[in-house]
Amino acid sequence: MRILLVEDDPMIGEAVTIALKDAAYAVDWVRDGTTAGSALEHGEHQAVLLDLGLPKRDGLEVLRRLRETGNKIPVIVITARDEVEDRIKGLDLGADDYLVKPFDVDELLARLRAVVRRQGGQAVPVLTNGKVSLDPATREARYGDIVALLSAREFALLHALLLRPGAILTRSKLEERIYGWNEEVESNAVDFLIHGVRKKLGASLIKNVRGAGWMVEKMQ
């Protein structure tokens, strides 16, 4: 899962980036509103953390333009304690949630999981598909009787597949979900991760669709 972080404060930006990476997200960090706007046009991200006070274009304007184009990506607005009015404006403009600085990183992660889950139409915190389940809070995966803890990137891979069971994801789509802009991706990185997940959960869960990509079948 790939997150766009829009934050001009270097200390907060750095701390949030580290926390997100630790929690298995790929993160792209931009520091002003216009760069955020163009980054969002590419549709590579699954959620946005958006500071409001930004150089070049403020966060509310970024949000307004985003929603105007019909983009429904989950957005969590980050505000200072005294910006109550902006927070309300943000929610009115289509933000999904907000956080008040200084915030606790665990709270940020929980809110992020919640907005992404709502986006995927999942009412419960654990992603399930038949006998497969994946808990974003612990990175624990279950497949039938097998229970395994996944690495950050194995989790990101299986999460991407489980969000849309039955859909084939190409190598580049998977790489896009797992890695950020500044990360070097080895050509066999996806194969390596799939091998890792299969080793932990069995070979049958992730299907290889020859020449197209990979999928997890939709199960009852």
* Residue ranges that bind Ca ion, judged by CB under 5 A: 8, 51, 53
Residue whose C-beta lies closest to Ca ion? 53
CB of 17 to Ca ion, least distance (A): 15
CA–CA distance, 153 with 193 (Å, rounded to integer): 7
Strand positions, DSSP E, 43-170: 47-51, 75-79, 97-100, 127-129, 132-135, 140-143, 146-149
Please, which residue, 53 or 202, has the CB nearer to Ca ion? 53
Which of 10, 130 has the CB closer to Ca ion? 10
Taking alpha carbons only, the member of 203, 218, 216 closest to residue 146 is 203
Query: Which one, 53 or 165, has the nearer CB to Ca ion?
Result: 53
Query: Cβ of residue 20: shortest distance to Ca ion, in angstroms?
Result: 18
The two tokens of residue 197 are 């997940």
Minimum distance of Ca ion from residue 89's CB (angstroms):
16
User: Coil, strand or helix: which one is 49?
Assistant: strand
Q: How far is the CB of 132 from Ca ion (least distance, A)?
A: 40
- Smallest CA-to-CA distance from 47 within 98, 119, 138, 102 is with 119
**Cβ distance to Ca ion smaller for residue 8 or 140:** 8
